[in-house]
Amino acid sequence: SILLKISCKVFLIEKIPNKMVLLIYENKNLTITFFILLFSTQLFAEINEVNNNKIKILMESGVPLIDIRTEEEWHETGVINQSKLLTFFDKDGNSNVKKWMLELEKIASKKDPVIIICRSGRRSRIVSNFLDQEANYSNVYHATNGMISWIDSKNKTVKLD
């Protein structure tokens, strides 16, 4: 919630699902409530947690899935068909954010939706939060339990050549 005091008038702003905002004007004698749909998602941007079924639906609608694991991990388990392979952290946990962002921008702009996945969801949560909070991506989907969940649910993967 954000509380704004403007010229002795109080406005309470509450986030409501789907980026709806509730404004309440109050004074001693009167309370008026307004609903406003915000066009800018940046005011209350957040990552969207998604499960395997939602990942499939998003991919079918053209949302790119970015697999941030290492090349060794891709070979070990295979990858989700049509995913974009873009390692964020190397095997030692280091990253080249500037280079990675340049590659990501070739796949999705800051206003385009994007799904981020890793092995278990730990690294992809870090990257998803970075994209949302630091890189100003407005529609980030986080594959909550990563490739472990995808494979445990008997979803298909493809081997790399």
Model pLDDT for residues 43-87, shown as the tens digit of each residue: 445 899 999 999 999 999 999 999 999 999 999 999 999 999 999
Tokens 């499960």, residue? 51
pLDDT for the residue numbered 50:
97
Model pLDDT for residues 110-131, shown as the tens digit of each residue: 999 999 999 999 999 999 999 9
The mean predicted confidence, pLDDT, of the chain is 82
pLDDT for the residue numbered 46:
81
pLDDT for the residue numbered 44:
46
pLDDT beyond 80 at 38? no
36 within 8 A of 88, measured Cβ to Cβ? no
Distance between CA atoms of residues 98 and 70, nearest Å: 17
